[in-house]
Amino acid sequence: MAAATRCPPAAPRPHSRRAQAHVIRCCEDTLGVPRRRRPTYDTEVAEAQRFPELVTPYGASSYLPHHQLYPPPPRPRRIVLVRHGESEGNVDEAAYTRVPDPRIGLTTQGWRDAEDCGRRLRRLVSSGGDGDDWKVYFYVSPYRRTLETLRGLGRAFEARRIAGVREEPRLREQDFGNFQDRDKMRVEKEIRRRYGRFFYRFPNGESAADVYDRITGFRETLRADIDIGRFQPPGERNPDMNVVLVSHGLTLRVFLMRWYKWTVTQFEGLANLSNGGALVMQTGAGGRYSLLVHHSVDELREFGLTDDMIEDQMWQKTARPGELNYNFITNGPSFFTHFTHQDEASALLSQQQP
């Protein structure tokens, strides 16, 4: 019998680099999620229709070649914090016992507060710009008194000046616990005074610390909107955009605390804005927002800022986004008691050296 023929063994196939490559992801959220391919022209058109604010003269930013950089949209010139006008609850605490807090409206004086604030706001944003193309974009609490304040503010502006409005529930008032018993609420506020304004939580309601948590989420939304140019219509790059937050006294103080990284002690020393009052965060020489660009030192002291906080606002006037003020109390060794002044100076010098 003829011996069976045997085929020679196949030569081993060289391992391709593609087969040996390992996919490494840096976040558990992406595990098992297919990696997105670089968009084609068709998918780019679809993305541009969904997010028109990301469109640049070269197409949507995600479709640009990696080596081609397009400057980011200009930051809004100002972020203006406005407290609602005088409300029915401000003049009659019994209103909270019969009307839900979100439905408390403005008084006649409150409407005047709102309209007066609108006129002041218009004078502010229409002066000092490079041209006559200024606009305003509003974020507003969904409570009745803030929505009415927004309408009062809006009477000072033509439609073409209003870039947009967004109702933002995270800007709502601190929750004091549904319908309020007037006598019991007075007792609770006295307990809050002894316990601490930031951490005391009203029964069935919120503490200022709870408001801080939701304002942190809103702050991230606002920063993302600024970074992607949410306030800029497609194809525009207006440097005279102004963002206005129409909200409530404590909520606005917590917003400032979160933005500037103030401590609990610093927060508890702040005064409330008057009804229809406003604070202006304006970009300084380096592009960061400072309260001292528009306001005086005396005005900030009256609001409750300490010497350390005012010095930080001076630094904010010339600093650039991304820089850190190592001299500020929240960034230095001020929380420790065993350091000498020499230790603090040496630590500061080492941080400032490249």
Domain total of the chain:
2
Query: Are both 176 and 271 inside the same structural domain?
Result: yes
Write down the catalytic residue from 47, 53, 84, 168. Answer: 84
Give the residue numbers of the binding site for substrate. 83-90, 145, 184
Query: Are both 249 and 161 inside the same structural domain?
Result: yes
Query: Are both 277 and 343 inside the same structural domain?
Result: no
Give the H/E segment covering residue 281. Answer: strand 278-283
Q: Which range has the worst mean pLDDT, 188-192, 228-232, 301-305, 337-341? A: 337-341
pLDDT in tens, 297-317: 999 999 999 999 999 999 999
> Measured between alpha carbons, how far is 236 from 110 in angstroms, rounded to an integer?
36
List Cα–Cα distances, 132 to 74, 101, 236, 239, in angstroms: 16, 40, 14, 11
Query: Are both 333 and 278 inside the same structural domain?
Result: no
Whether residue 53 lies inside any domain: the answer is no
Give the residue numbers of the binding site. 83-90, 145, 184
193: exposed, middle or buried (Cβ count in 10 Å: 0-12, 13-18, 19+): exposed
Are 124 and 161 within 8 A, CB to CB? no
The tokens for 127 are: 């002066």
Please provide the DSSP assignment of 54-89 as one string. Answer: GEETTEEGGGS-TT---PPPPPPSEEEEEE---BHH
Is 323 a catalytic site residue?
no
CATH code assigned at 110: 3.40.50.1240
Query: Are both 233 and 343 inside the same structural domain?
Result: no
The tokens for 315 are: 């630094």
Tell me the mean pLDDT in the region 189-196. 90
Query: Are both 138 and 196 inside the same structural domain?
Result: yes
pLDDT in tens, 60-110: 444 444 434 567 889 999 999 999 999 999 999 889 989 999 999 999 999
Query: Are both 168 and 279 inside the same structural domain?
Result: yes
> Measured between alpha carbons, how far is 250 from 88 in angstroms, rounded to an integer?
18
The tokens for 125 are: 């944003």
Whether residue 103 lies inside any domain: the answer is yes
Whether residue 291 lies inside any domain: the answer is no
Query: Are both 206 and 108 inside the same structural domain?
Result: yes
Query: Are both 173 and 241 inside the same structural domain?
Result: yes
Q: Is 154 helix (H, G, I), strand (E, B) or coil?
A: helix
CA dihedral sign, ordered 177, 246, 291, 289: positive
pLDDT in tens, 7-34: 556 555 555 444 444 444 444 344 444 4
What is the DSSP pairing of strand 59-60 with strand 55-56?
antiparallel
Give the pLDDT score at 57. Answer: 45
> Measured between alpha carbons, how far is 318 from 287 in angstroms, rounded to an integer?
7
Is 173 a catalytic site residue?
yes
Tell me the mean pLDDT in the region 218-239. 87
pLDDT at 168 over 70: yes
Query: Are both 86 and 151 inside the same structural domain?
Result: yes
Give the pLDDT score at 343. Answer: 62
Whether residue 214 lies inside any domain: the answer is yes
The whole domain housing 226 covers 78-283
Q: Which range has the worst mean pLDDT, 34-43, 167-176, 256-265? A: 34-43
Give the pLDDT score at 135. Answer: 95
The pTM of the full predicted model, rounded to 2 decimals, is 0.78
The count of C-alpha atoms lying within 13 angstroms of the C-alpha of 333, restricted to the half-sphere facing its C-beta, is: 15
Query: Are both 266 and 329 inside the same structural domain?
Result: no
Write down the catalytic residue from 115, 148, 168, 173. Answer: 173
Give the pLDDT score at 64. Answer: 43
1: exposed, middle or buried (Cβ count in 10 Å: 0-12, 13-18, 19+): exposed
pLDDT band at 337 (very low <50, low <70, confident <90, very high): confident
The tokens for 193 are: 């005074």
Burial 115-142 (b: 16+ CB within 10 A, else e): bebbebbbebbeeeeeeeebbbbbbbbe
Give the pLDDT score at 58. Answer: 40
Q: Which residue has the higher pLDDT, 123 or 29?
A: 123
Q: Which residue has the higher pLDDT, 42 or 117?
A: 117
For the chain, give the mean pLDDT: 82
Q: Which residue has the higher pLDDT, 248 or 15?
A: 248
